Chain A
Amino acid sequence: MSVLEVDRLTVSLPMVGGAARAVRGISFRLERGESLGIVGESGCGKSMTALALMGLLPDGGTLDGSIALNGRNLRTLDEAAMCHVRGNAIAMVFQEPMTSLNPVHTIGKQLVEPLMLHLGLDRDEAKVEAFSLLERVGLVDPQRYYSAFPHQLSGGQRQRAMIAMALSCHPEVLIADEPTTALDVTVQGQILDLIYDVVSERQMSLIMISHDLGVIAQTVDRVAVMYGGSIVEQGPTAEVFAQLAHPYTQGLFAAVPQVGDGRRRLRTIPGTVPELADLPQGCTFAGRCSLSRESCHHQVPDMRSVGPNHMAACLRLDAAMATSTFGLRR
């Protein structure tokens, strides 16, 4: 049984002028010990997917479809039961650690609180556990970090503290939402190493959300590409990177400048990401796609298989695969 099984998940957010469907019927599953990457540009619904899994949608947001954790549908749980799931079963690391840590409490206090609340430890046991967590995430000299306030730490250290908090109650699933976007590139490497290590040593499942294809390529087993609230392509990372099927995935990969490419001209995707409030009727990418036909604007494409476990949602898949001249630039 999969740890996490998401089926036709839809998230609607109230907006001026009607509800915006930020996530439109996405389905995926996550096995134990597996890592899944969700990649896409801003506004594609990747963060909203993460918040929906955590049961932390913004006010007025509504869910449809099902989220099953070890076979139990999270949508049927009340808030008290959901509080138990959060932290114990699913934990999350956010993008900007400064805004997600409480600035008026020490790191120690914020670390001890879930240990006492969720695991029922007393204060002394919790403190011992907190010290070992801080050491595990590379904050050696835990006494100092235990009594430090978030503003006294650097960005990388804060993110390490966030990871310690996420690990504290031994969750089965770790969701990391752009965990390194706010960090410098040399620190980013250290944090990715840390996430990779703790996830594999504890046999956790990982959902890594990122806009950076390099980060995705090197940290996850499977990847899902999101655009306009839908998953347009998903499959094993090596499979997807070798054979880009969906026109959006192809465009996205071609638009990224790579170190070592020199002054090669970048292929661009014309236009911009559509507003969530008025997404097109049919395929959300139709307006920017060079292969789109009349039918693309009316009909929502279904996921079709393009290889072993590799699927893409496009009506013009054959044409798209034919134009996919490169697997991936070496």
Chain B
Amino acid sequence: MTFVDTPMVEASGLTRHYALPRESLTAPAQRIHALNQVSLTVHAGRSLGIVGESGCGKSTLARCIMALEPLTAGTLRILGKDPHSMRPWTLRRHRRNFQMVFQDPFGSLDPRHTVARIVAEPLEVAEKWLKPEDRRLRVKEVLESVGLKEADMAKFPHEFSGGQRQRIAIARALVTRPALIVADEPVSALDVSVQAQVLNLLQDLQDNYGVTYLLISHDLAVVEYVCDEVAVMYLGRIVEQGPTVEIFSAAAHPYTRALLDAVPKMTPGERRSRSSLKGSVPNPVDINPGCPFADRCPLVESHCRFQAPELREVSPGHLVACHLA
């Protein structure tokens, strides 16, 4: 059930703050600004990658879009409907359209359930009316589409390797035939040779079933490999967003450029250029009024510290939040 003109995901001003415990009775509780005014649109069949370092809010964004976390402010529409305002039962049924793959394939599968039961579980909510034999058929089909065999249905998760477990997790996400899959670091727990198998699988599923991905990763190469568009996050904000090719060839934000430079290249002999960034990501408790990146930026100017830059278009579809871009 895809509406041709309705964007898959339409988010505007998504904000999520977490209150910290009070340090004293009189002091106001401090807040962690995990997500600040994030707006994005993903169209059907176009995949968006979200990159950033730890603590930049990319996982919070994924959980807010999946309606696993309440929003502090902002509106979200998935296929035109707002999951955050739905009643629980309606939301559960709406979930068949958007599913999630988690990072750790060892923690996200119930060790006491067989593969058949794990993969069939979303169907019990989304398509309760399916007869047992039809359900079995669906599970078999989806397992085959991720490269597992029918014989694997009776096995338990511990009988599989990390890569195979991640395939099971992907099969579970696919079984309701969702239009959108939110994948939070789907390959970062896997070894290089296995990671390549799972990445190829993600690409095949996109080509064969037209799945839209929202892919969260800290690895720029992984995002470039799967996604049409990239959003770079820093301290709970999107600092740059645009078509993958353009971001990787002509990054406009100094943070994006530093991220790209910091990836060690596989060219021996050529010493890495000295890291241009000092320090690490600041604490998201005290947000200063200016640009969130001002303290680490090599190009910083005095007004950067007082005035927060808005996201603005520098070329068609390419948005940057920087005064100097």
Contacts and interface: CB of A to CB of B under 8 A. Distances in A.
Decide if A and B are genuine partners. yes
Interface of A: 41-42, 154-157, 184-190, 192-193, 211-215, 217-218, 237-238, 240-241, 251-269, 272-273, 328-329
A211 B272 CA distance: 18
Contact of A259 (B163, B203, B248): B248
B53 A184 contact: yes
B262 interface: yes
Contacts of A218: 264-265, 267-268, 270-272
A95 to B, nearest CB: 15
Contacts of B197: 268
A41 B245 CA distance: 30
A214 B265 contact: yes
Contacts of A157: 280
A82 to B, nearest CB: 32
Contacts of A255: 192-193, 195-196
B163 A266 contact: no
Nearest to A288: B193
Contacts of A213: 266
A172 B280 CA distance: 30
B260 interface: yes
A184 B281 contact: yes
A241 B191 contact: no
Contact of B258 (A154, A186, A237, A273): A186
Contact of B199 (A187, A257, A269, A328): A257
B259 to A, nearest CB: 6
B306 interface: no
A212 B191 contact: no
A58 to B, nearest CB: 21
Given A189-B262, A265-B200, A267-B196, A259 B224 contact: yes
Given A257-B199, A265-B200, A185 B218 contact: yes
Contacts of B220: 185, 259
Interface residues on B, range: 35 or more
B314 interface: no
Interface string B184-221: 00000001111111011001000000000000001111
Interface string B216-246: 0011111011100000000000000000110
10 cross-chain pairs, A with B, having the tightest CB-CB distances, nearest first: A214-B264, A189-B275, A255-B196, A184-B53, A257-B221, A266-B196, A41-B191, A269-B193, A237-B268, A268-B196
10 contacts: A41-B192, A185-B218, A212-B264, A214-B264, A218-B264, A238-B268, A259-B260, A266-B196, A269-B193, A272-B193
Contacts of B268: 217-218, 237-238, 240-241
Contacts of B248: 259-260, 262
B170 to A, nearest CB: 16
B86 interface: no
Contact of A262 (B195, B196, B245, B272): B245
Interface in B35-83: 53-54
A259 B193 CA distance: 17
A67 B184 CA distance: 44
Nearest to A275: B161
Nearest to A236: B268
A252 B12 CA distance: 42
Nearest to A328: B266
A237 B271 CA distance: 13
A231 B38 CA distance: 48
B280 A257 contact: no
A257 B225 contact: yes
Contact of B192 (A184, A193, A252, A262): A252
A217 B266 contact: yes
B193 A41 contact: yes
B274 interface: yes
Contacts of A190: 275, 277-278
A153 to B, nearest CB: 10
B132 to A, nearest CB: 33
A237 B199 CA distance: 28
A185 B262 contact: yes
B263 A214 contact: yes
Contacts of A256: 192, 196, 221, 266
Given A186-B258, A259-B260, A268-B193, A214 B280 contact: no
Nearest to A262: B224
B88 interface: no
B269 interface: yes
A267 B225 CA distance: 13
Contacts of A328: 266-267
Nearest to B265: A214
Nearest to B258: A186
Nearest to B226: A263
Interface string B131-150: 00000000000000000000
A267 to B, nearest CB: 7
A238 B269 CA distance: 6
A217 to B, nearest CB: 4
A266 B224 contact: no
A272 B196 CA distance: 12
Contacts of A42: 191
Given A186-B275, A189-B272, A256-B192, A217 B264 contact: yes
Contacts of B194: 272
